[in-house]
Amino acid sequence: MRSFASFILSLVLHLSLFASAFIYFPRSASQLDGESVLVPVELVTLADITNIRAAAPDPVPEPEPEVIERPQPVAPEPEPEPQVSEPEPIPLPPTEEPQPEPEPEPQPEREPDPVPPQPEPRREPERPQPRPQPQQQQGLDLDALSTLVDRSRQQSAQNRPAEQGDTRQGAGAGTAMTATMADLFRSQTSRCWREPSDAPDPASLRVSVEVQLERDGSLSAPPRLVDANRVLGSPNPYMRLAGERAVRAVIECAPYTMPAGQYQQWRRITVNFEPSNR
């Protein structure tokens, strides 16, 4: 009888021990959840996990002709400052801000204000690109020199079959690697991204930027804001800023360190910037 009782007791204790393993505390569980976010680390050994398709049907012949043609269009451009997104010296027109209202103490009336026309005459004459001329005159112009260097670097990058050349090695199924590749790029971009976390509703400020990269990780074209009209024309100033900050982040963090072997996978990247409400 005694042994039976102790058997029962033992059984109950064992069962309760077993059962206790099934009890979980939602609080601690959710904490764990929060911590298990994937942390992108930059040390990635890509070679080990490649699932590249063995040398895809050789695409080499195709790119060749284009490579030869490349340099030509680039050469002729003459001006030292090719970025022509906007006219040169812009007159400062917009806000002919009325002078500050008279305060009681400082001094009495200020002359009736908004003097609209006066700035114009002086500034207008400067308008016809004053920039290029002085530059040509100077004997040694570091600015022009540096743009030259930039251009030659660009050209050499293009001579290396950048845009088209290397499907040879890259175009695998690559499914396993795109995740790491994305992490790699993300970890480099987020450094430069100024998060709009202090805006009223950050989660509504999602924007995307299309990026094209050279093989060396530099930008091969200015990044393009997706839906630029909607974003930059938004009545919400925070939205406009979110767009500008996204583009700035991509530019400021270049060049990117990416595995050259998988160039085909990261040649074009769409970066979604998604702030969250905290």
Partner 1 sequence: MRFLARLAAMFAMIAALAAPALAQSGSPLVVTVTDGNVDPFPIAITDFIAQDTQSAETGADIARVVTNNLANSGLFAPVDQNAFIEDITNIDLRPRFADWRIINASALLVGRVSIDEQGRLLVAFRLWDTAAEQQILGMQFTSVPENWRRLAHKVSDAVYERLTGESGFFDTRIVYVSEGDGPNGEPTRRLVIMDQDGANPSFLTDRSYMALLPNYSPTNQQITYVSFRDLQATSYLYDLQTGRQEALFDSSNAAITGGGQSLSARFHPNGRELVMSVERRGRHDLYGFDLRTRALRQLTSNPSDDTEPTYSPDGRQIAFASNRSGQPQIYVMNADGTDQRRISFGPGRYTSPVWSPRGDLIAFIKQQGSMFSLGVMRADGTGEERILYDGYFVDTPAWSPNGRMLLFTRGDYSARGTRYSVWSVDLGGFNLRRLPTQGAASDAAWSPLLD
CA–CA–CA angle 112, 113, 114 (5° rounding): 145
Look up residue 173 and give its two tokens: 């199924």
Among 178, 227, 255, 257, binds partner 1 (CB under 8 A): 178
Residue count (the chain): 278
For residues 4 and 78, which CB has a smaller minimum distance to partner 1 in the complex?
78
Among 15, 138, 252, 255, binds partner 1 (CB under 8 A): 252
The Cα 202–Cα 198 span in angstroms is 7
Applying CB under 8 A, does 216 fall inside the site for partner 1? no
The Cα 19–Cα 28 span in angstroms is 18
Half-sphere exposure of 277 (CA within 13 A, CB side): 4
Among 151, 160, 224, 240, binds partner 1 (CB under 8 A): 240
> Per-residue string for binding with partner 1, 1-40, x by CB under 8 A?
----------------------------------------
Termini Cα distance of the chain = 63
Applying CB under 8 A, does 210 fall inside the site for partner 1? yes
> Per-residue string for binding with partner 1, 139-168, x by CB under 8 A?
----x--x--------------------x-
Applying CB under 8 A, what is the total number of residues that bind partner 1? Answer: 79
Applying CB under 8 A, does 276 fall inside the site for partner 1? yes
Least distance CB 16 / partner 1 (angstroms): 37
For residues 42 and 105, which CB has a smaller minimum distance to partner 1 in the complex?
105
The single-letter DSSP state of residue 172 is: S
Instruction: List b or e across 37-58, with b for residues whose CB sees 16 or more CB atoms inside 10 angstroms.
Output: eeebeeebeeeeebebeeeeee
Least distance CB 74 / partner 1 (angstroms): 19
Residues 65-124 that bind partner 1 (CB under 8 A): 81, 83, 85-86, 88-101, 103-107, 110-111, 113, 115, 118-119, 123
The Cα 44–Cα 265 span in angstroms is 16
At 268, which helix (H) or strand (E)? strand 268-273
The Cα 17–Cα 132 span in angstroms is 84
For residues 71 and 82, which CB has a smaller minimum distance to partner 1 in the complex?
82
For residues 168 and 248, which CB has a smaller minimum distance to partner 1 in the complex?
248
